[in-house]
Amino acid sequence: MTTEFQVPDDTQWDETPRSGVSRICLYAGWSLAVVWAVGLVAVLIWQAATEGESVRFGALLGLVPLVAFGLIILSALIDRMHTRKTDPYRKVQK
């Protein structure tokens, strides 16, 4: 028997995804955002070098950040719905 005090893990404010689906959405969203940024730089360099225009690349470069942002928000929403079941403050009224 020991008298050593052990502090329990505090995971309430932990920022890591709580489920597999949330983890996939979060990492897919950030991956898309990084790939989009790299692709944007590459296309801008290519456009400057060739002086050409492409409507498809412009539409794609406008859509990808929206999808990436949506996946990141979806990850946060999934985690919130997961923790809502045990949230002691959800029944508090003003």
- Examine residue 63 and state whether it is found in any structural domain, yes or no: yes
Q: How far apart are CA 75 and CA 37, in angstroms?
A: 21
- Examine residue 13 and state whether it is found in any structural domain, yes or no: no
pLDDT of residue 48: 72
Q: How far apart are CA 18 and CA 77, in angstroms?
A: 11
**Tens digit of pLDDT per residue, the chain (94 long)?**
677 877 767 766 667 777 888 889 888 999 999 998 898 888 777 777 777 666 666 666 778 888 889 998 998 898 888 888 777 777 777 7
Residue 69 lies in domain: 20-83
Q: How far apart are CA 16 and CA 13, in angstroms?
A: 9
Q: Is 21 exposed, middle or buried (0-12, 13-18, 19+ CB in 10 A)?
A: middle
The position carrying tokens 């029944």 is 91
- Examine residue 88 and state whether it is found in any structural domain, yes or no: no
Kindly report whether the global pTM for this prediction surpasses the value 0.75. no
pLDDT of residue 55: 61
pLDDT of residue 57: 67
Residue type, position 42, single letter = A
Domain count across the chain:
1
The position carrying tokens 């329990």 is 8
